[in-house]
Structure 1
Amino acid sequence: MTLSRRKQRLGALAAATLAAATVSTVALTNAGAEEQPADSDAGITQAKVDNPYEGAQVYVNPQWSEQAAAEPGGEAIADQPTGVWLDRISAIEGNDSPTTGGMGVRDHLDEALAQGADAIQFVIYNLPGRDCAALASNGELPADAIDRYKTEYIDPIVEIQSDPAYAGIRIINVIEIDSLPNLVTNVSPRATATPNCDAMKANGNYQDGISYATAELGALPNTYNYLDSGHHGWIGWTNDDPQYDNFHASAAMFGSLIGMNGMTAEHVHGFITNTANYSPLEEPHWEVDQVVGGKPINQNGDVKWVDWNAYNGEIDFSTSFRDELVTNGFNEDIGMLIDTSRNGWGGPDRPAGPSTSTDPVTFVDESRIDQRFNKGNWCNQAGAGLGERPQVAPEAGIDAYVWIKPPGESDGASEPIDNDEGKGFDEMCDPAYEGNIRNGNNMSGARGEMPLSGHWSSDQFAELLANAYPPLS
């Protein structure tokens, strides 16, 4: 790959930066395929490609890489690409957050040029009334601040990403995790409703904000938008009764965005599932409709782990949900991403094979690799491990396995912590919490002694390494 004049000017600085951070650039490649670097020369606009990860060297965030490499055993994964989270307006220019180290959007893009990276992953994450069914990741913008979201948050990001200096980089934007599915599952008249989600459904600012962000970012020639679409343990329920159907209703909710704020299907390159979550790619030892005790598992009301869900893994869910999204107006060539940063579930508690029990409840509990108390548990899950390393096109219709959630960064504080980041205390992050209707009134399964969301936890990082699956060599 030839260096542009801009890269040549940055060469000395880049070498010093990379040496200090011990950062290396890695490529997401097909298994057994020869690496084919993409031309990412600054200022040279590329035609959009079907899969932005194909043949690309993906940016390694030096802040995360340095933290990972400083931990025992962390050097084994410190060269992996992770998402850059823009969770506050101040993150655009850079703030004093321990996980950003003062780097803003332009800083990361300049560093991507210095690395010779072909692609970079940003998380667009600052909706008004953000995460209406949780408190740990609530944001800085109140429910009615849609104008600030557009003018102070999205517009400046668009301005930077549109700079011709970055025209040769494929900019991948993961847009607003944990948002639109909440307007299906956690609103009245459902028993799982929360007042905050009811308020966001009434004011329409989730749809307004996401459609605006998608249209504005998607209009750039080198951007690739992937909208967050939950995970199988959240919206995997298919049912003729609208009160219990999350799957079709969520796809319809996404489809309703087309036409808002000038957003078109062309502005959406794909969708992502399991962002910052723990759902495995598949359960290797059992099928969700397998007959045990004379009845299919997912038609047995006693099996609370499944609870009539049509899916028990992200591969089947994401590929099926992709088809449903196409029927709701999205292009047939959309691709899916799956976040595998913490869904490995390895270690000594991983079952080696299926249970021999004929009792369906016992069979599932002894066979499943996912060790959570409930699929609704999302905060700092004890016993979790790193999942598949980032890779391109692992399955038909799936553009890549990605690490959008940087391993080692907390989901939320395990006890109240005063802060200026707008992040509240959520009981689902308290290991002593006995649950609510949204997690089947189960224990939270969270780790103790955890910092604010997005902050680093050495103990959690060590556990993710120890329980990695595939294991680290």
Structure 2
Amino acid sequence: MSPRNKGWLAAAVAAVAAAGGTVLGAVPAEAGSISGTLYREADTAVARWVAANPNDSRTAVIQSRIASQPASHWLATVNLSTIGSEVATYVNGANAAGQIPVLTVYGITNRDCGGASSGGAPDLGQYQTWINGIAGGLGTRTAVVILEPDSIALQTCLSSGEITARDQALSTATRTLKAANPNARVYLDAGHSTWNSAADQASRLVAAGVADADGFYTNVSNFNATSSEVSYGRSIISALTAAGVSGRHQVIDTSRNGGAAGDWCGDDNTDRRIGQYPTTATGDADVDAYLWVKPPGEADGCAYTAGSFQPSLAYSLATGVADPTTSTTSPTTTSPTTTSPTTTSPTPTATTSSPAGTGCSAVLTVTSSWSGGFQADVAVTGSGSTTGWAVSWTLGSGQSISQVWNGTLTTSGSTATVRNASWNGALPATFGLIAAGTAGTPVLTCTAS
């Protein structure tokens, strides 16, 4: 840790100790099942839309199937002066109702690796100050904290020193929250079942201080089946136990996993469905809750601004039927993400490469772009039996890749290569990416084995 980071960590420890907590000596309560009713907040983006649009043909369905359910309250704006009161207001409302508040803390420095939900605290010192404010509003009763989605599973944009600093920041944040409210249940990021391997993810969790947390969460903003996530979680728990961290549990985001799986973005995919309703009654000793962490109907940042509520998405998730309207009177909302770039929907740009004898070809399609970045899908096809594939191309001037899904990225100089994940080596296959810079028309080279 640099001397500068040592300074902010020491200051954070001193601040919490002065408030009556002992951060570095905090020991979490034994992780276990949560019992009780999850809190349904009255003032949410979907509730506001329902109230503003009583005569819309979609309103009854969206109200009964989505707005009626508890979803997580996102803390995504790093406002040091108001965060404590925001948390206290929400938590006090849940306590008054005798229900369990669920908060998603989303403000880590270099959030989303500069992708569609970029933002966060300008530095880790201010991040810890923000966490102190959150901790001060948590109260004393049971509260669930989903700490920093993607912060551990997505580290491709960070240097080794930055990863270490982030791990230390997450560990300190966990201890700060637990010291302020020992009944708070804090869960760390474990990605999802089609991302990092369970062994790799467990190692990352240990480095980020999962021993001080109650467990980990998976599938946030994603679409993988609950059964796949449970199996993945058990593998992580086994790996954690082998590493000397026992008793950790899992929570699963089921907000959008009742239909098709596939790439992470659901803005223009009508095969998605809401999954199991939020509950703490999972019937599984390893799974503390099924939660709606990503509020259904809030966009991912592809066709719409990340975090904005879109009734067309909500209606499709709730019914499996395409939006019957062509326009909406709903006001623009920006929760949970408030710092996303404006996206556009350009005419797709595609390029193919099928060198003789490589056994496969690849087509890159730009699916959305914004000032300073773009998103693309790559379809990989071929003939014959394959167990693996790799697609390579030369990055353009100013381009860098911040995120890849359904594949593994390596870069060497200006050459980017994406290889299949462990589960999709057979063709056809697809992968997606988010990149900084201007979208171009690279020449793709595909090889299959």
Instruction: Using structure 1 for the length normalisation, give the TM-score.
Output: 0.56
Match of 2:73 among 59, 62, 84: 84
Counterparts of 1:130-169 in structure 2, within 5 Å, are 130-132=111-113, 135-142=115-122, 145-151=123-129, 153-161=130-138, 166-167=139-140, 169=141
**1:326 paired residue number:** 241
- Per-residue CA deviation, residues 425-466 of structure 1 (Å, 9 max, x unaligned), is 5798729954267245848699xxxxxxxxxxxxxxxxxxxx
- The question of whether the paired residues in 2 share the 8 Å contact of 1:415 and 1:430 is answered with no
Mapped partners of 1:234, 1:222: distance in 2: 31
| Post-superposition offset of 1:109 | 1.5
**1:397 paired residue number:** 286
Mapped partners of 1:218, 1:94: distance in 2: 17
Mapped partners of 1:139, 1:341: distance in 2: 24
**1:269 paired residue number:** 214
- Per-residue CA deviation, residues 266-298 of structure 1 (Å, 9 max, x unaligned), is x3111111011111124xxxxxxxxxxxxxxxx
Mapped partners of 1:68, 1:328: distance in 2: 47
| Post-superposition offset of 1:255 | 1.1
Mapped partners of 1:68, 1:200: distance in 2: 44
What is the identity, as a one-letter code, of the residue corresponding to 1:212?
T
- The question of whether the paired residues in 2 share the 8 Å contact of 1:92 and 1:105 is answered with no
Mapped partners of 1:79, 1:49: distance in 2: 32
What is the identity, as a one-letter code, of the residue corresponding to 1:107?
T
Q: 1:378 to 1:269 in 2, by over 3 A?
A: same
Counterparts of 1:293-442 in structure 2, within 5 Å, are 313-331=228-246, 333-345=247-259, 369-370=260-261, 372=262, 375=263, 377-380=264-267, 382-383=269-270, 384-391=272-279, 392-414=281-303, 421-424=338-341, 430=368, 434-435=376-377, 438-439=404-405, 442=430
Matched, 1:175 2:113: no
Q: 1:255 to 1:223 in 2, by over 3 A?
A: same
What is the identity, as a one-letter code, of the residue corresponding to 2:239?
E
Q: 1:272 to 1:255 in 2, by over 3 A?
A: same
- Root mean square deviation, CA, Å: 3.4
Mapped partners of 1:385, 1:445: distance in 2: 23
Q: Secondary structure at the match of 1:320?
A: helix
Length, aligned pairs only:
296
Matched, 1:223 2:184: yes
Match of 1:72 among 56, 60, 63: 60
- The question of whether the paired residues in 1 share the 8 Å contact of 2:146 and 2:187 is answered with yes
Mapped partners of 2:341, 2:174: distance in 1: 27
Q: 1:207 to 1:74 in 2, by over 3 A?
A: same
Q: Secondary structure at the match of 1:53?
A: coil
Mapped partners of 1:234, 1:92: distance in 2: 36
- The question of whether the paired residues in 1 share the 8 Å contact of 2:215 and 2:249 is answered with yes
- Per-residue CA deviation, residues 367-409 of structure 1 (Å, 9 max, x unaligned), is xx53x3xx4x335351211001123223341112111111111
| Post-superposition offset of 1:125 | 1.1
Mapped partners of 1:199, 1:424: distance in 2: 24
Q: Secondary structure at the match of 1:72?
A: helix
| Post-superposition offset of 1:326 | 2.1
Q: 1:416 to 1:387 in 2, by over 3 A?
A: closer
Q: Secondary structure at the match of 2:60?
A: coil
Counterparts of 1:220-259 in structure 2, within 5 Å, are 220-235=181-196, 246-258=197-209
- The question of whether the paired residues in 2 share the 8 Å contact of 1:135 and 1:425 is answered with no
Q: Secondary structure at the match of 2:283?
A: strand
Q: 1:415 to 1:57 in 2, by over 3 A?
A: closer
Counterparts of 1:89-128 in structure 2, within 5 Å, are 89-90=78-79, 93=82, 104-117=86-99, 119-128=100-109
- The question of whether the paired residues in 2 share the 8 Å contact of 1:229 and 1:272 is answered with yes
Q: 1:429 to 1:329 in 2, by over 3 A?
A: farther
Gaps of 5+ in 1: 1-46, 96-102, 187-196, 236-245, 259-263, 283-312, 346-368, 447-473
Mapped partners of 2:266, 2:42: distance in 1: 25
Q: 1:343 to 1:429 in 2, by over 3 A?
A: farther
- The question of whether the paired residues in 2 share the 8 Å contact of 1:341 and 1:386 is answered with yes
Q: 1:49 to 1:254 in 2, by over 3 A?
A: closer
What is the identity, as a one-letter code, of the residue corresponding to 1:124?
V
Mapped partners of 1:318, 1:136: distance in 2: 27
Q: 1:255 to 1:76 in 2, by over 3 A?
A: same
Q: 1:249 to 1:73 in 2, by over 3 A?
A: same
- The question of whether the paired residues in 2 share the 8 Å contact of 1:379 and 1:429 is answered with no
Q: 1:63 to 1:429 in 2, by over 3 A?
A: farther
- The question of whether the paired residues in 1 share the 8 Å contact of 2:31 and 2:215 is answered with no
**2:174 paired residue number:** 214
Q: 1:397 to 1:198 in 2, by over 3 A?
A: same
Match of 1:204 among 164, 178, 182: 164
Gaps of 5+ in 2: 1-27, 52-58, 307-333, 345-365, 379-390, 392-403, 408-417, 419-429, 435-449
Q: Secondary structure at the match of 2:131?
A: helix
| Post-superposition offset of 1:127 | 0.5
- The question of whether the paired residues in 2 share the 8 Å contact of 1:125 and 1:177 is answered with yes
Mapped partners of 2:126, 2:166: distance in 1: 13
- The question of whether the paired residues in 2 share the 8 Å contact of 1:412 and 1:429 is answered with no
| Post-superposition offset of 1:179 | 1.2
| Post-superposition offset of 1:122 | 0.7
Mapped partners of 2:254, 2:80: distance in 1: 25
Mapped partners of 1:86, 1:226: distance in 2: 15
What is the identity, as a one-letter code, of the residue corresponding to 1:388?
Q
Identity of aligned residues (%): 25
Please identify which structure carries the higher strand content: 2
Mapped partners of 1:381, 1:318: distance in 2: 29
Q: 1:415 to 1:396 in 2, by over 3 A?
A: closer
Q: 1:281 to 1:57 in 2, by over 3 A?
A: closer
Q: 1:205 to 1:88 in 2, by over 3 A?
A: farther
| Post-superposition offset of 1:171 | 1.1
What is the identity, as a one-letter code, of the residue corresponding to 1:141?
A
- Per-residue CA deviation, residues 112-149 of structure 1 (Å, 9 max, x unaligned), is 133232x11111111111111x511111334xx11110
Q: 1:252 to 1:443 in 2, by over 3 A?
A: closer
